[in-house]
Chain A
Amino acid sequence: MSERTIHVDTTPSDPEALAEAAVVATNEPIPGGHPMEIWISYVLRIGVLTAGAIILVGLAWFLIAGSPSGPKTLNDVIGSGGHGIVVSPRTIVSGISAANPTAIIQLGVLVLILTPMMRVLMTVFLFFAQRDMIFVAVTVIVFAVLVFGLVGFGR
């Protein structure tokens, strides 16, 4: 992995030498060739499909059966003053146990938000497997920012 065929010490002012160095690098690993990356792409696909399925179930349920405690009019959907109703893990759980289809949609949205986060987490292990410690650090910080974005701001 650390083998680089591009000699970066090529006289930088010599474009020809650089172009030559940039022609073909035969023993370079092809990007996206690590077996773990295939797992990561599966996680992304499964995450989006799961989220899409949950959202579809919630939406279909709403359209077919309506919602017991949910919005009745267009104004309920849009919310007064343009701002929606504040969401918390508790409102989602109680909404689902009350068989409220909009809470099921919210669960699907949450799965969707968690999907790219899972990818970042798995990439930490990918870089670790490649013994690429700088990038382990970079990816851990990105993950921390995502966690902060998800839980860092008050309700």
Chain B
Amino acid sequence: MHGIDLFVVGIFLAAVAAGLLGSLVGLGGGVLIVPLLTIGFGLNIRLAIGASIVSVIATSSGAAAAYVRDHLTNVRVGMMLELATSIGAVTGAFVAVYLNSRVLFVLFGVILLFSVLPTIKKLGEDLPQGVVPDRLSLRFRLASVYPDRATGKLVAYQATNVPTGFGLMYVAGVVSGLLGIGSGALKVLAMDTAMRLPMKVSTATSNFMIGVTAAASAGIYFWRGDVVPLIAAPVALGVLVGATVGAKLLVRFSNNTVRLVFVPVLALVAIEMLLRGLGVA
């Protein structure tokens, strides 16, 4: 085996681990791929982001295909907010060229720290009570129902604060396009906390949206040449394998134990990225 072959196989194995860990902790593989390729393999952050955004499409489209079965995804909310995330993602990918890679490191560290928060402290409510739909929610008929597993009944819910949710989603799109991640944490924040959708609905709808958001910026990275085939291929295949195995393992393990072990690791990775950007490390 030559140097390149070892390099490719090494990236593949690392990506399997990232996909596995990501799905166990409940974050997409993307937030781990970029630190892995930059800190672990010493690659330029732009190429890491290019490879990462492609892997985000791969894993999220696999997950999004399940939405017909889960009956939790609110397609109308998802589509409406994809308006904001896709425009944001194009903006982010476009702006990324003009940013110094150290700025990207700092931003990445900040977003990673922020993404870890919801895995520690549960944000949002399972079924928010007394949600008064706003004008846009009524206009776009965003209210819907989801089947409750425990009671077997359909539970109706409302959406509110659509403009705030839309604004946050634009930011989520920019972050996704800029850093090559799914920015699921920001998306869930916009839907749970701002629009007050039930937790299960916002998580499922976020997964549904991530692939489209990522596809909006991936083309820009692709033609620019930042999606290097021999980096992107092992990353995409590895994350796909890791995430699939992770989803199977999740059924057996309580993911609280997994979180306790890996959240500190993620926090350390975030700090390392921050320090790199600031030129300390």
Q: In which size bucket is the chain B interface?
A: 35 or more
Tell me whether B31 is interfacial, beta carbon within 8 Å.
Answer: no
How far is B3's CA from A84's CA once the two chains are assembled, in angstroms?
19
- Of the listed stretches B57-65, B117-125, B268-276, chain A binds B57-65
How distant is A66 from chain B, measured CB to nearest CB, in Å? 8
Tell me whether B245 is interfacial, beta carbon within 8 Å.
Answer: no
How distant is A100 from chain B, measured CB to nearest CB, in Å? 9
Take A41-B65, A59-B237, A115-B215 as given contacts and tell me if A86 and B3 are in contact as well, using a CB distance cutoff of 8 Å.
no
The count of residues in chain A whose C-beta lies closer than 8 Å to any C-beta of chain B is 84
**Chain B, range 208-239, C-beta contacts under 8 Å to A:** 211-212, 214-220, 222-234, 236-237
- The residue among A86, A109, A139 with the most chain B CB atoms within 10 A of its own CB is A109
Main secondary structure of the interface of A (DSSP, over half): helix
Take A4-B143, A74-B4 as given contacts and tell me if A151 and B219 are in contact as well, using a CB distance cutoff of 8 Å.
yes
B-chain residues with CB within 8 Å of residue A59 when the two chains form the complex: 8, 230, 233-234, 237
Tell me whether B50 is interfacial, beta carbon within 8 Å.
Answer: yes
Q: Are A32 and B68 in contact (CB under 8 A)?
A: yes
- The residue among A22, A33, A103 with the most chain B CB atoms within 10 A of its own CB is A22
B-chain residues with CB within 8 Å of residue A103 when the two chains form the complex: 229
B61 interface neighbour in A30, A73, A115, Cβ under 8 Å: A115
How far is B90's CA from A102's CA once the two chains are assembled, in angstroms?
26
**1/0 per residue A124-149: CB within 8 Å of B?**
00110000001100110110011011
Q: Are A105 and B57 in contact (CB under 8 A)?
A: no
Take A22-B157, A74-B3 as given contacts and tell me if A30 and B215 are in contact as well, using a CB distance cutoff of 8 Å.
no
Q: Are A82 and B4 in contact (CB under 8 A)?
A: no
Q: Are A142 and B79 in contact (CB under 8 A)?
A: yes
**Chain B, range 124-154, C-beta contacts under 8 Å to A:** 127, 129-133, 138-141, 143-147, 153-154
B-chain residues with CB within 8 Å of residue A30 when the two chains form the complex: 71, 145, 147, 154
Tally A-B pairs: CB < 8 A.
257
**1/0 per residue B1-34: CB within 8 Å of A?**
0011101110000000000000000000000000
CB-CB nearest in chain B for A106: B229
Tell me whether B52 is interfacial, beta carbon within 8 Å.
Answer: no
Take A84-B226, A102-B230, A106-B229 as given contacts and tell me if A22 and B156 are in contact as well, using a CB distance cutoff of 8 Å.
yes
How far is B140's CA from A87's CA once the two chains are assembled, in angstroms?
40
**1/0 per residue B72-98: CB within 8 Å of A?**
111110011011001101100110000
CB-CB nearest in chain B for A13: B132
A-chain residues with CB within 8 Å of residue B139 when the two chains form the complex: 134
Tell me whether A78 is interfacial, beta carbon within 8 Å.
Answer: yes
How far is B3's CA from A139's CA once the two chains are assembled, in angstroms?
46
B130 interface neighbour in A19, A48, A153, Cβ under 8 Å: A19
Q: Are A116 and B132 in contact (CB under 8 A)?
A: no
Q: Are B82 and A87 in contact (CB under 8 A)?
A: no
CB-CB nearest in chain A for B201: A31
Q: Are A32 and B67 in contact (CB under 8 A)?
A: yes
Tell me whether B168 is interfacial, beta carbon within 8 Å.
Answer: no
Q: Are B236 and A21 in contact (CB under 8 A)?
A: no
Q: Are A153 and B156 in contact (CB under 8 A)?
A: no
A-chain residues with CB within 8 Å of residue B62 when the two chains form the complex: 44-45, 48
What are 20 inter-chain pairs, A to B, with CB distance below 8 A?
A: A4-B141, A8-B143, A41-B65, A45-B62, A52-B58, A55-B233, A55-B236, A71-B230, A87-B224, A88-B223, A106-B229, A110-B222, A119-B212, A120-B82, A138-B83, A142-B79, A142-B82, A146-B86, A149-B215, A151-B219
10 closest A-B pairs by beta carbon, nearest first, are: A82-B44, A84-B225, A15-B130, A150-B219, A105-B229, A116-B215, A102-B229, A44-B65, A116-B211, A25-B156
